Structure 1
């Protein structure tokens, strides 16, 4: 993979590690398990979804949850934010929401007779964009720059966001009344699209025990790591080794998807980088200093599925999984 592509989109600017494995700070996998255990106190039976959210965070990616209302998408985002000692803000997307309500605007100061920039809710460490597809595309576009560049430009002036910045969005099924389709450019800003789904019977029974108490379940969560720990994750991910054979394998997977006649949408080189970064994060939290074939097979549907469109207008998780199986894996 050409390292010059590493600055594309919202991918981190550091080149993907190619010089050989380096030791992993053993505190990082321990921090991962600590956060996951904290989230599992209120999100039951969804360990794989929780893990994927944390992998994306470590890879500096944003996550989109697409599911029916009421399965815990917003609760999961809040539980993550409550587990990290950092700032958190929520935007409830509605049809009348304006772009300036998201990014901020210049407000005239009567006392000083000047315009002052009033930051919008995107100026935070963890942003929950709730029901993002209830707002029209014009408002959704307010997130494009901030998700890709971690900055906001208002009337020619650029305002940088503090690190880390993670956007966690939820969306309702498009067949629901009052929803808008997300533009392809918006979808491409999300590293992963995940589905929480319904809990298992035992987990749902346990959920009643947790959430029917006198105190709201989220109120019992306290931070177990700091935002500097998250920055440490994000700094460690690019140091995970991606061998020449794995880089060629990643490219072959993407080429197989692009050449599949069932895929009606282009899949950009940014997708290759994001898949590689997500695989590095999975390896990091597994205590492994290199990316494996299993990382790619596990994460390809989550990272690439929403970037693929089939003739029935569905997302392409199954198509991606089939393409990955067709590509010969390195030994």
Structure 2
């Protein structure tokens, strides 16, 4: 199975230029059964990144453009009365898919944002008192713009904590950006017709294999020391929850599997710690005034925890 996964990642990196680390993290997240929040300025390929992954996995894909007037039923679906059959009929919303892109999630009010909570946590939705299961492979990728806050509704901490990772998309290098420009203008690639590399059945088999990746007691202790350090640090106002430790452990297993190993190393933990923690902690006011970033504090914090031998 690892050969197919390596082939998928290679094709993914060919199509999305300059984001190799984020692509591997995104793939790790879906293999770990988690969801991802992507933050980046418009035009950096966030939508294409998710759509291409869906094509390579052979899964169904839906995109919702979040706006202030979007209703919860626009996401989950609703029931209507069928006069011909004299019965109520359920119309499924776009959430019934394998990969859901919640574009600009912070542009819709909290009531609509909350429509995703049950789906992300319990893999089901409730419509008019009836509960409907979602697909075995269900993956939410939400995007938000980090530079425009007018008319937005910041995600509450409880909803941010539902995301396994928060990825930050930066601009590619000059050479990488030039390659993207040539590909698009020369029409070298047809992104929409990208052939799948693995199917959903194989994907579920790989996910089961990842659960067998060895996470030793020493590595678990290392994870807990990092998470608990976020609660003791004076630089952090609110530390990470137990869910953060679980997320780091699950994603580290997936990262190790993609890297060709059946065991997790401390380097795997270091790799997933930043995207796994950056949306789960809040810096103290005096640290923010000094100009420190969350990523800098996480890096210092992880570096201060002794590495297991």
Q: Which residue of 1 aligns with 2:157?
A: 184
Alignment of 1:5-154 (within 5 A): 27-28=1-2, 30-154=3-127
Deviations 1:86-138 (A, max 9, x none): 21111111111101101111111112222222111110011111111111111
Alignment of 1:148-227 (within 5 A): 148-173=121-146, 175-214=148-187, 217-227=190-200
| Structure 1 contact 308–315 (Cα < 8 Å) conserved | no
Counterparts of 2:104 and 2:275 in 1: how far apart (Å)? 19
Counterparts of 2:189 and 2:102 in 1: how far apart (Å)? 22
Report how many aligned residue pairs link the two structures: 304
| Structure 1 contact 305–315 (Cα < 8 Å) conserved | no
**Residue 190 of structure 1, CA deviation:** 0.7
| Structure 1 contact 309–315 (Cα < 8 Å) conserved | no
Counterparts of 1:305 and 1:250 in 2: how far apart (Å)? 15
Q: Which residue of 1 aligns with 2:295?
A: 317
- RMSD of aligned Cα (Å): 1.7
1:299 and 2:272 aligned? yes
**Residue 177 of structure 1, CA deviation:** 2.9
Which of 245, 255, 260 in structure 2 is aligned with 1:272? 245
| Structure 2 contact 230–239 (Cα < 8 Å) conserved | no
4+ residue runs over 4 A deviation: none
Counterparts of 1:325 and 1:41 in 2: how far apart (Å)? 33
- The alignment partner of 1:164 has SS state of coil
| Structure 2 contact 41–147 (Cα < 8 Å) conserved | no
Q: Which residue of 2 aligns with 1:246?
A: 219
**Residue 220 of structure 1, CA deviation:** 4.3
Q: Which residue of 2 aligns with 1:17?
A: none
Q: Structure 1 residues 149 and 163 mapped into 2: Cα distance closer, same or farther (>3 Å)?
A: same
TM-score, with normalisation over the residues of structure 2?
0.94
Q: Which residue of 1 aligns with 2:261?
A: 288
- The alignment partner of 1:168 has SS state of strand
Counterparts of 1:182 and 1:220 in 2: how far apart (Å)? 34
1:308 and 2:286 aligned? no
Counterparts of 1:75 and 1:302 in 2: how far apart (Å)? 20
**Residue 223 of structure 1, CA deviation:** 1.1
**Residue 201 of structure 1, CA deviation:** 0.6
In structure 2, stretches of 5+ residues that fail to align are: none
- The alignment partner of 1:194 has SS state of strand
Q: Which residue of 1 aligns with 2:308?
A: 330
TM-score, with normalisation over the residues of structure 1?
0.88
| Structure 1 contact 253–323 (Cα < 8 Å) conserved | yes
**Residue 261 of structure 1, CA deviation:** 2.1
- The alignment partner of 1:64 has SS state of strand
